[in-house]
Amino acid sequence: MNNMLRKLRASCLALCFVLTLTLNASARQDGDIQAAEQYLAGHELQLKETTRPIQRITLLRNLAPAALAAGKVEKARTYAQELVSLGEAQSKYVDASGQAVHIGNLVLGRIALAAGKVGKAKEYLLAAGRAAASSTLKSFGPNMLLAKELIEKGERDAVVEYLDLCAKFWERDEGRLEQWKNIVRQGGVPNFGFNLTAGLSSWRYAK
């Protein structure tokens, strides 16, 4: 009887632990959605009133990922498509163009992957890797969230190709790209750290 009680108690504790983790994760997700919705509400009017391409890029590179975080997929797609188009059209402004092309394609890739369009997601990932070398990309490097999601789908070759493309602009990678490539080729998932949020979460800190 004592053994049964101990086993029952252990099972209850384990269940409580799992439920706690689930509730905490749900609370964080709800908080993220609410924060993203608040960001959109506070900046979409500004976008409507802005006509200059560079200023629109500045707004859209935060609005596109924020819309995706809020679960507003079609709005995120529209913003990301305009972001890429503006970035390509404003190529002489390397900083704005590089960030626009990189972030816009990553948002579009995550939307495609969520819809089960793996091939399209890979195309967007590689397009993000061909972005111009903005000062931010040179210093902090690429966002790796879509790459990680594709690794988890078994698309390792595309991610290695993406990392090779990123080597053309990430001047201060301190050997991380080669380390990540080796891990991906060996069947692992690198610890991308800060690069899982770089660029795609800047809306959280924007005014």
Q: How many Å is the Cα radius of gyration of the chain?
A: 20
> Alpha helix locations (H) across 52-91?
53-69, 73-89
**Alpha carbon distance 110, 70 (integer Å):** 14
Residue at 144: amino acid letter: M
**Alpha carbon distance 149, 155 (integer Å):** 9
**Alpha carbon distance 7, 3 (integer Å):** 6
What per-residue confidence (pLDDT) applies to 9? 54
Q: Which residues contact 93 (CB under 8 A, 6 or more apart)?
A: 54
Give how many domains the chain has, as a whole number: 1
**Alpha carbon distance 29, 9 (integer Å):** 30
What per-residue confidence (pLDDT) applies to 28? 39
Task: Tell me the CA distances in angstroms from 31 to 24, 25, 92, one per residue in order.
Answer: 10, 10, 38
Show the domain range for 188: 2-204
The Cα angle at residue 132 between residues 126 and 133, in degrees rounded to 5: 115
User: Along the 207 residues of the chain, how does pLDDT read in single tens digits?
Assistant: 455 545 445 444 443 333 332 323 333 344 589 999 999 999 999 999 999 999 999 999 999 999 999 999 999 999 999 999 999 999 999 999 999 999 999 999 999 999 999 999 999 999 999 999 999 999 999 999 999 999 999 999 999 999 999 999 999 999 999 999 999 999 999 999 999 999 999 898 876
The SS3 call for residue 201 is: coil
Query: Of 6, 23, 95, whose CA–CA distance to 54 is shortest?
Result: 95
What per-residue confidence (pLDDT) applies to 37? 94
What per-residue confidence (pLDDT) applies to 6? 54
**Alpha carbon distance 122, 147 (integer Å):** 9
Task: Tell me the CA distances in angstroms from 60 to 93, 160, 204, one per residue in order.
Answer: 16, 28, 13
